[in-house]
Amino acid sequence: MEVVESVPAEARPTSAQVLVASHLGKRFGDRVAVDDVCFEVAAGETYGLLGPNGAGKTTTIRLVCGLLRPDAGETLIAGRQVSTTGTLAKRYVGYVPQDIALYPDLTARENLRFFGRLYGLHGKALNHRVGKVLDLVGLSERSRDRVESFSGGMKRRLNIGAGLLHEPTLLVLDEPTVGVDPQSRHAVMESVRSFGAAGMAVLYTTHYMEEAERLCDRVGIIDHGRLVAEGTRRELVAKLGEHDRIRLSATGDLGVLADRCRDLDGIDSADVKDGQVQLLARDGRRVLPSVLEAAKRIGTPVRSVEVAEPDLEAVFLHLTGTALRE
Ligand SMILES: Nc1ncnc2c1ncn2[C@@H]1O[C@H](COP(=O)(O)OP(=O)(O)OP(=O)(O)O)[C@@H](O)[C@H]1O
């Protein structure tokens, strides 16, 4: 692991935009992983990159953190240009990778002390930061327990803690709740929320729509390497105009039902997700009778119907024509 020094308080940036990513591009052979991606994250802001598996989220943040060289574009962190070789900009970044990088046979405190030394911390400063970080991630009471005895969520939180030791200005988290049970997921999200509230800039990738909705001040929707839209939840939903989201539970071939619905007047999109047919319609209540009629005709009787306001899932569906899949 690379040694990155911590940043003295007086050297911290004052500009509101902590991260500025401009026209980032990256190919792997013929495959375009990231295509002309631009976004900014301000101090105290939590920015979510939301997209399905393979959309380009990890590649984007590896470019942003200087772990991968872009084919095009550049990133500034705290006004410093990011490069794969230099450490100047990296001093401001806490990067929390998707995979857990902890020593199972060491305690939580020993793990943090190890990573703290890599950041150039020693003596009292190291002890102080380790204590503070254990508090921040809610693991003070388990600090003397070996990591091998931790739940998935606790390991995740400690992994995040390792990225916080040098008091980064920007915290970058790559899908930090993947493989975590719902209760621990909540704890991870609450930790992340507190970092934004404390003034840190947070860049968060996820393919869970609810996480982006709950946690992020602004969301960038990424698909096939391109940022197809960005904004607050409200701004993104407004892009849909007046739309309703309809969820149908039915018995029979849901794919056929979705195909039929797609052809109906007033239906903008139809997709099968989570064992339901999901529709986007300009006026849900008006189209419902023809949907029920079509379902009956093809022998897939509808068992329940839910009409709701659009969410980010609906925005994604509208912009890309596909559902965000797990
Ligand atoms: N080192 C690599 N070599 C070749 N192709 C790669 C490499 N890294 C990523 N890719 C490809 O680039 C595309 C974007 O991948 P990336 O990991 O950035 O997506 P992601 O949105 O983070 O997905 P996930 O949620 O599954 O992690 C994918 O098609 C992937 O297969």
Q: How does pLDDT run across 209-246, given as a tens digit for each residue? A: 888 988 999 999 999 999 999 999 888 888 777 678 89
Q: Is 62 in the pocket of ligand 1 (CB under 6 A)?
A: no
| Residue minimizing CA distance to atom 3 of ligand 1 | 28
Where do the domains of the chain lie?
A: 9-237, 241-309
Please give the Cα distance from 9 to 182 (Å, whole number).
36
CATH class of 9-237: alpha beta
Residues paired with 306 in a beta bridge = 247
| Residue minimizing CA distance to atom 24 of ligand 1 | 53
Q: Is 33 in the pocket of ligand 1 (CB under 6 A)?
A: yes
- Helices 182-197 and 152-162 sit at what angle, rounded to 10 degrees? 20
Atom of ligand 1 nearest to the CA of 29: 4
Pick the CATH number of 241-309 from 3.30.70.260, 3.30.70.100, 3.40.50.300, 3.30.2090.10: 3.30.70.100
Tokens of 175: 């899908």
pLDDT bucket at 1, cuts 50 / 70 / 90: very low
Helices (H), 90-181: 108-118, 123-136, 152-162
Place of tokens 């806490």: 94
N- to C-terminal Cα separation, the chain: 31
Cα–Cα nearest to 160, from 184, 133, 193 = 133
Q: Is 57 in the pocket of ligand 1 (CB under 6 A)?
A: yes
ipTM: 0.95
pLDDT bucket at 323, cuts 50 / 70 / 90: low
